[in-house]
């Protein structure tokens, strides 16, 4: 569809992206693996399908994949030395779906190691740079995906969001990023971080593209028992515009110490929605401040269990020791980076006998309170509008020495993840330094339709999402 309307072939488009990647990747460090030969073959096959009269929104469309999606025959590293030479023998379900639809895979893009981070600086392959300012971070953990879209190094990119990893980099790079409801999109073949929080979604140029990707990715999967058929859920029919849409503004999301330009831009966006017919009212999510401590107990606890499989026997790196235990220890010591080790230790501690009730169970109880906050708010409003991040993209290295400062980058995205509800980041302005600002629109569980409709109506009336960095 897209290709036909632009009258170019999939091969031409793929060649243009590959040339641009070759030119810009040394400066931005987006692609960890470029899949040139296979991409051109896929493009050729797509052109043949188009010639035979086939049509489809993603047929021949070049896509980038965060390096946590398993790709058959193509190295998949999760940004980690421990998987530096790991080549999966199968595709993640979402990859297989896109492949069947005729998408072209340009390659694998950088991310924080095992998706742990907010800046894409925790990657074994070096940091990715923000296309708007190469001295700034692109956000994380899907920073490569966001930078790839912002720098025109793909048409769209897949990412994962466990606590903000799609929305926050989308906001830092001035692109659109949809974090789906927990359970809406299959995670089979996606390298796990925290299983009760991980979600798959897309980073795109605008919310219309986000909808195309959601329709392509969603649906039940016999390989993922947490994945539901959303059509049977509450997916309300999408409103045609903002008239009468009830927009709640959560007071707790305008935090002390936030960058004034961010607050101004987000408040201006909300005003604009009101001008377009939305009914805006303040709401409260009183347990928002529990988000950070609760998330940083649950996510590391689950990560410590998920990462136990990387032991030098089954996947990737193996550092042979004197015996099996020694091999485990040497492999994990050499293979994991320091942030991953920190989380494994935190998580193992929180799950250990005697502390499990005090930490993990209590965190799960507090999580229920956070979830209820959202349920109560959505009894009164259709969507929530808030900032994505308290500040715009920070400088490379600025937060790497202080993990808590890094964790604070996600204060406004974590509770949405803990509640399992959908959220989108859409560009809504720039700060004085020319860095993009994101507006977060949050919906009730499986209310992606409403979130996307609100985002599309906002983008139809604004041009922030069509600005591009000068490279
Ligand atoms: N920055 C958060 C973390 O480090 C969220 C990451 C994510 O969503 N994958 O855990």
Closest CA to 30 of 162, 175, 164, 213: 175
pLDDT of residue 1: 47
Residue 142 alpha carbon to ligand 1 centre in Å: 9
Q: What is the pLDDT of residue 100?
A: 98
The HSE-up count of residue 95 (CA atoms within 13 Å, CB side) is 27
- Per-domain residue ranges of the chain: 2-233, 246-287+369-466, 293-357
Given ligand 1 and candidates 78, 80, 111, 112, which is best to mutate, with the most ligand atoms within 8 Å of its CB?
Answer: 112
CA angle 84-154-420, nearest 5°?
Answer: 75
pLDDT at 234: 62
CA of 120 to the centre of ligand 1 (A): 10
- The answer to whether 162 touches 299, Cβ cutoff 8 Å, is yes
Chain centroid offset of residue 423 CA: 11
**What residue ranges of the chain have pLDDT lower than 70?**
1-6, 232-237
Tell me if 88 CB under 6 Å of ligand 1: no
Ligand 1 near 76 CB (within 6 A): no
- The yes-or-no answer to whether 2-233 and 246-287+369-466 have a common fold is yes
CATH class of the domain defined by 2-233: alpha beta
Q: Which residue has the tokens 């906002």?
A: 458
Q: How do beta strands 31-34 and 199-204 pair? A: unpaired
Q: Best substitution site from 80, 122, 140 to test ligand 1's pocket, by max atoms within 8 Å of Cβ?
A: 140
Q: What's the pLDDT score for residue 229? A: 86
Rounded-to-integer distance, Cα 311 and Cα 308, Å: 7
Give the number of the atom of ligand 1 that is nearest the alpha carbon of residue 295: 10
Distance of CA 230 to the CA centre of its chain: 20
Neighbours of 24 (CB within 10 A): 19
User: Considering only the top CATH level, what class is 246-287+369-466?
Assistant: alpha beta
Q: How far is the CA of 163 from the centre of ligand 1 (A)?
A: 5
Rounded to two decimals, what is the model's pTM?
Answer: 0.97
Catalytic positions, please? 66, 141, 165
102 CA to middle of ligand 1, Å? 31
Q: Is 104 exposed, middle or buried (0-12, 13-18, 19+ CB in 10 A)?
A: buried
User: How far are the Cα atoms of 153, 279, 289, 294 from residue 393, in angstroms, in the given order?
Assistant: 20, 31, 22, 25
Residues paired with 64 in a beta bridge: 107, 157
Would you give the end-to-end CA distance of the chain in angstroms?
A: 28
> Among 15, 25, 14, which residue's Cα sits nearest to residue 110?
25
Residue 120 has a CB neighbour count (10 Å cut-off) of 35
Ligand 1 contacts CB of residue 299 (under 6 A): yes
Ligand 1 probe mutation, 121, 141, 168, most atoms within 8 A of CB:
141
Q: How far apart are CA 174 and CA 171, in angstroms?
A: 5
Q: How far apart are CA 97 and CA 112, in angstroms?
A: 25
163 close to 414: Cβ distance less than 8 angstroms: yes
């Amino acid at each position: 569809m897209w290709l036909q309307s632009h009258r170019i072939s999939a091969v031409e488009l793929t060649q243009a992206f590959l040339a641009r990647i070759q030119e810009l990747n040394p400066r931005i460090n987006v692609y960890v693996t470029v899949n040139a030969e296979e991409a051109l073959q896929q493009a050729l096959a797509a052109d043949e399908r188009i010639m035979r009269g086939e049509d489809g929104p993603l047929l021949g469309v070049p896509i980038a994949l965060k390096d946590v999606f398993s790709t058959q025959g193509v190295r998949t590293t999760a940004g980690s030395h421990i998987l530096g030479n790991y080549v999966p023998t199968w595709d993640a379900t979402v990859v297989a779906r896109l492949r069947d639809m005729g998408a072209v895979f340009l390659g694998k893009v950088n991310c924080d190691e095992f998706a742990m981070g907010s800046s894409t600086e925790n990657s074994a392959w070096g940091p990715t740079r923000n296309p708007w300012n190469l001295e700034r971070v692109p956000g994380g953990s899907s920073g490569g995906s966001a930078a790839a879209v912002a720098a025109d190094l793909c048409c769209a990119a897949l990412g994962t969001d466990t606590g903000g990893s799609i929305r926050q980099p989308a906001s830092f790079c001035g692109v659109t990023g949809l974090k789906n409801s927990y359970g809406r999109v299959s995670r089979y073949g996606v390298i796990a971080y925290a299983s009760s929080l991980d979600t798959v979604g897309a980073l795109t140029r605008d919310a219309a593209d986000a909808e195309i990707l959601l329709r392509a990715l969603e649906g039940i999967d016999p390989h993922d028992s947490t994945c539901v058929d959303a059509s049977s859920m509450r997916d309300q029919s999408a409103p045609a515009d903002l008239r009468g849409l009830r927009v709640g503004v959560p007071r707790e999301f305008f935090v002390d110490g936030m960058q004034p330009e961010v607050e101004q831009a987000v408040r201006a966006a909300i005003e604009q929605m009101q001008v377009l017919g939305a009914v805006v009212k303040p709401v409260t999510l009183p347990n928002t401040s529990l988000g950070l401590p609760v998330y940083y107990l649950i996510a590391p606890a689950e990560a410590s269990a998920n990462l136990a499989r990387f032991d030098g026997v089954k996947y990737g790196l193996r550092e042979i020791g004197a015996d099996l235990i020694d091999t485990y220890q040497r492999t994990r010591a050499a293979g994991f980076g320091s942030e991953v080790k920190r989380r494994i230790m935190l998580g193992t501690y929180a799950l250990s006998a005697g502390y499990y009730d005090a930490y993990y169970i209590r965190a799960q109880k507090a999580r229920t309170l956070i979830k209820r906050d959202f349920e109560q708010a959505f009894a009164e409003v259709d969507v929530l509008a808030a900032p994505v991040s308290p500040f715009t993209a920070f400088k490379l290295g600025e937060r790497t020495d202080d993990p808590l400062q890094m964790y604070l980058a996600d204060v406004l995205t974590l509770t949405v993840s803990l509640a399992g509800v959908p959220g989108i980041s859409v560009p809504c302005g720039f700060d004085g330094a020319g860095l993009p600002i994101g507006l977060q629109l949050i919906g009730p569980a499986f209310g992606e339709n409403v979130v996307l409709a609100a985002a599309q109506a906002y983008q139809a009336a604004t041009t922030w999402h069509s600005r591009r960095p000068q490279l």
